[in-house]
Chains A and B, each alone.
Chain A
Amino acid sequence: MIKLDSFYTIGKTHQVCEDYVLHKEGPVPHIVLGDGCSSSPNTDVGVRIWSHIAHDMIKNTMTNGLQCFVPEGVVLWMSKVAKQLIPVIGLSSQNLDSTIVILCQDLNSSTVRLLMLGDGIIITKSKDKLPHIVQISYMNEMPYYLSYIMDESRNEAYIKRAKELEHKGNTKIIHTLSETSKVPYYDLTSIEYDINDYEYIIISSDGLDSFYNRNTGEKVPIEMTATLLDQFKSFNGEFLKRRIKRMLKEYEKQGIYHYDDLSLGIMYNECPREVICIKAEKTR
């Protein structure tokens, strides 16, 4: 059985929270997370618009017979809907400058698809293993947002700038503990998982890697945060919210704060592969 939860909160140095996340059980379990660009105006609104466009897309496509989403199709659909919507409500593409991350289970399948448009963090954990962290970022902190794709002039400006940088367009950085690679900025981060191989998959904004010790000025390694986050006491109801709120309190006692907005969503699998499930009596 799949359980979902999500959480978002404002960063210490921010006036408005530009992160957002929602999770829904139906028609298939899915999480949509957004991290608005803090140097663009009103992205707190834009990130919510994107998230609900994505949720609506999943709801409509899955109930109309589609078994799963196709990354390129998602990009086209979402940008089409946004293009129609934003002039009506007096917004511009700049207000939609935001990372969007979608994690969605296929209909009647154990396949889970992840699509990340922009930057962010993915944490996966298999049974009896340490959390595995993948960080997606961009050189010069210039994520390639979906809002650029829907605005030709801004897209051209971005491409020109990306090609001027070192690595000439290979400005997207994929970092794990064991390696760092650079890929083209337009490379869609699209990953398929078999949920049976995992206890959980977490998607997060880059705010999860923005913890600093106010007293010492030292950055807190994301591995430490992921390890603390992994100490779930139970998996009922708002289990992620409970864990992260407690983690934030423990960090606060040490003078550690996240300076960027923080948003996370978790897809938890009660019975990962090779585990014999004893119904109702299995305790963690």
Chain B
Amino acid sequence: MTDPTSKSLSQGIVPGSTFQFSFTKPEDLGATEYTLVTIEVDVSSSVDLFSDELLNCVKEAIRACKRSPRAENLLLRLVSFNTTIKEIHGFIPLSPINLDNYDPFTCTGMTALYDATYDSISASLAYAKTLTNMDFDVNAITFIITDGCENASCQSGPASIKGLVDKVKKSEELESMINVLIGINSGDASVFGMLSIFKDEAGLNQFVEVGDVSAGKLAKLAQFVSQSVSSQSQSLNSGGPSQLLKF
């Protein structure tokens, strides 16, 4: 996969935290407006059984985004998380992404769900500020895909995430932001119950229950992700976020 430390990308740190992210330099961007898309994927040990299917789902979502009429106005960041957060690549345009270069997920460890959520929102906000200062119009959408509940975060919690979401709403850097929590493959109804509570406490926009992993469900998830991205991108300069789509 594209080396996020390559010369073409710059490195950023979210102020007040140790969260890092990489991004395309604004001077290398040509459009007038961008939607920042972040996909954070749970690669804890429990995901191991369907990690290939999950990777294919992510690839399919990105493939569909590449076909979108708005493809040239999207910047995508892909992150995996378990006990720690690992950026697969930072915010980059879709055109140079070679989906065949994505390595299989290595699924081990626990689930730092809160840190992953905080990372996705804060990195988007920080990069949006950089872009806005360079006259770009920006909005964002994040997807946090998980099969289980939080059990490993050390830097954030629902309250701090909610504070960040509220900060985004007041900021001028991001025209709007949609945060979608996606629960997959939990056979335990209480897990989905806790994820739903997390969504409310953290102020996220939407919780999507995918249910048991199947080829059809993951294909539907890929379509949901790409259509949500397309919808949010088309809402740029409307003053607000797009309508939330139903899964």
Interface residues of A in 230-274 (CB under 8 A from B): 233-234, 236-238, 241-243, 245-246
CB-defined interface of A132-156 with B at 8 Å, one 1/0 digit per residue? 0000000000000000000000000
Q: Which residues of A contact B28 (CB under 8 A)?
A: 236
Q: Which residues of A contact B136 (CB under 8 A)?
A: 242
Judge whether B29 and A236 touch: CB under 8 Å: yes
Q: CA–CA, A246 to B32, complex, Å?
A: 10
Secondary structure call for the B interface? loop
Most chain B CB within 10 A, of A237, A241, A283, is at A237
Q: CA–CA, A208 to B212, complex, Å?
A: 59
Judge whether B133 and A233 touch: CB under 8 Å: yes
Judge whether A238 and B32 touch: CB under 8 Å: yes
Q: CA–CA, A70 to B37, complex, Å?
A: 50
Judge whether A238 and B26 touch: CB under 8 Å: no
Judge whether B134 and A234 touch: CB under 8 Å: yes
Q: CA–CA, A245 to B32, complex, Å?
A: 9
Judge whether A233 and B135 touch: CB under 8 Å: yes
Judge whether A237 and B30 touch: CB under 8 Å: yes
Residue total for B at the interface (Cβ-Cβ under 8 A)? 12
Q: CA–CA, A237 to B131, complex, Å?
A: 14
A to B contact number (C-beta, < 8 Å): 29
Judge whether A233 and B31 touch: CB under 8 Å: no
Chain A, Cβ-Cβ closest to B134: A233
Judge whether B29 and A233 touch: CB under 8 Å: no
Judge whether B30 and A233 touch: CB under 8 Å: no
B27 interface contact, C-beta 8 A = yes
B119 interface contact, C-beta 8 A = no
Judge whether B134 and A238 touch: CB under 8 Å: no
Distance (Å) between the CB of B220 and the closest chain A CB?
Answer: 35
Q: Which residues of A contact B115 (CB under 8 A)?
A: none
Q: CA–CA, A242 to B136, complex, Å?
A: 6
Q: CA–CA, A144 to B135, complex, Å?
A: 37
Judge whether B27 and A246 touch: CB under 8 Å: no
Judge whether B27 and A245 touch: CB under 8 Å: no
Distance (Å) between the CB of A268 and the closest chain B CB?
Answer: 14
B137 interface contact, C-beta 8 A = yes
Q: CA–CA, A235 to B55, complex, Å?
A: 37
Q: Which residues of A contact B30 (CB under 8 A)?
A: 236-238
Q: Which residues of B contact A283 (CB under 8 A)?
A: 27
Judge whether B32 and A236 touch: CB under 8 Å: no
Q: CA–CA, A121 to B32, complex, Å?
A: 24
Q: CA–CA, A243 to B32, complex, Å?
A: 9
Judge whether A242 and B32 touch: CB under 8 Å: yes
Judge whether A242 and B27 touch: CB under 8 Å: no
Q: Which residues of B contact A243 (CB under 8 A)?
A: 135
Chain B, Cβ-Cβ closest to A243: B135
Judge whether A236 and B135 touch: CB under 8 Å: no
Most chain B CB within 10 A, of A238, A242, A245, is at A242
Q: Which residues of B contact A242 (CB under 8 A)?
A: 32, 134-136
Q: Which residues of B contact A237 (CB under 8 A)?
A: 29-31
CB-defined interface of B126-147 with A at 8 Å, one 1/0 digit per residue? 0000000111110000000000
Judge whether A238 and B27 touch: CB under 8 Å: no
Chain B, Cβ-Cβ closest to A242: B135
Q: CA–CA, A233 to B31, complex, Å?
A: 13
Q: Which residues of B contact A241 (CB under 8 A)?
A: 32
Q: CA–CA, A234 to B29, complex, Å?
A: 9
Judge whether A238 and B133 touch: CB under 8 Å: no
Interface residues of B in 12-66 (CB under 8 A from A): 26-32
Judge whether A234 and B31 touch: CB under 8 Å: no
Chain B, Cβ-Cβ closest to A234: B27
Distance (Å) between the CB of A242 and the closest chain B CB?
Answer: 4
Chain A, Cβ-Cβ closest to B28: A236
Distance (Å) between the CB of A110 and the closest chain B CB?
Answer: 25
Q: Which residues of A contact B134 (CB under 8 A)?
A: 233-234, 242
Q: CA–CA, A242 to B28, complex, Å?
A: 14
Chain B, Cβ-Cβ closest to A235: B27
Distance (Å) between the CB of A245 and the closest chain B CB?
Answer: 6
Q: Which residues of A contact B32 (CB under 8 A)?
A: 238, 241-242, 245
Q: A238-B30, A242-B134, A245-B135 are in contact. List 9 more A-B contacts (CB 8 A).
A: A233-B133, A233-B134, A234-B26, A234-B27, A234-B135, A236-B27, A236-B30, A242-B135, A283-B27
Give A contacts to B, CB under 8 Å. 233-234, 236-238, 241-243, 245-246, 283
Query: Could you list 18 A-B pairs, sorted by A, with CB under 8 Å?
Result: A233-B26, A234-B26, A234-B27, A234-B134, A234-B135, A236-B27, A236-B28, A236-B30, A237-B29, A238-B30, A238-B31, A241-B32, A242-B32, A242-B136, A245-B32, A245-B135, A246-B135, A283-B27
